[in-house]
Amino acid sequence: MRVDESTLTDQVSSTASRAAESQRVQVDTGAPSGGSGSSASDRVDLSSLAGRISQAMQSLSNQSSQRTNQLQKDYQAGRYQPDPQQISRAMVGELSGTAGS
């Protein structure tokens, strides 16, 4: 069994890059407020949210990588013994559209 995580790593990297690029968004409405002729300004700060998303995705990637490495070692050592019933239930669930239910 071989698992290629390059796709997952690429997705995490591109998402983290996009999050870093869009950390701060500032919107000026330019609309008069209350008829006084001054313009209202709205500001949205996404830096903390983007940072948390980036950290969560990196953590998920690390956990997945560690789990994959452990499964690879177990398989190579002959210790990987998947449960056939669990596999068949997962396959039937996916076919019927009820996976994870």
Give 1's DSSP letter: -
Q: Which pLDDT band, with edges at 50, 70 and 90, does 24 fall under? A: very low
Segment 44-62 mean pLDDT: 90
Cα–Cα dist 68/61, whole Å = 10
Residue 53, pLDDT above cutoff 80: yes
Can you give the residue ranges of every domain in the chain?
A: 6-96
Residues near 43 by Cβ (< 8 Å), separated by ≥ 6?
A: 26, 27
Q: Would you say 29 and 42 are in contact if contact means Cβ atoms under 8 Å apart? A: yes
Structure tokens at 85: 């019933």
Decide: helix, strand or coil at residue 61: helix
pLDDT single digits (tens) 58-93: 999 999 999 999 999 999 999 999 999 999 999 998
Q: Would you say 73 and 80 are in contact if contact means Cβ atoms under 8 Å apart? A: no
Q: What is the pTM of this model?
A: 0.43
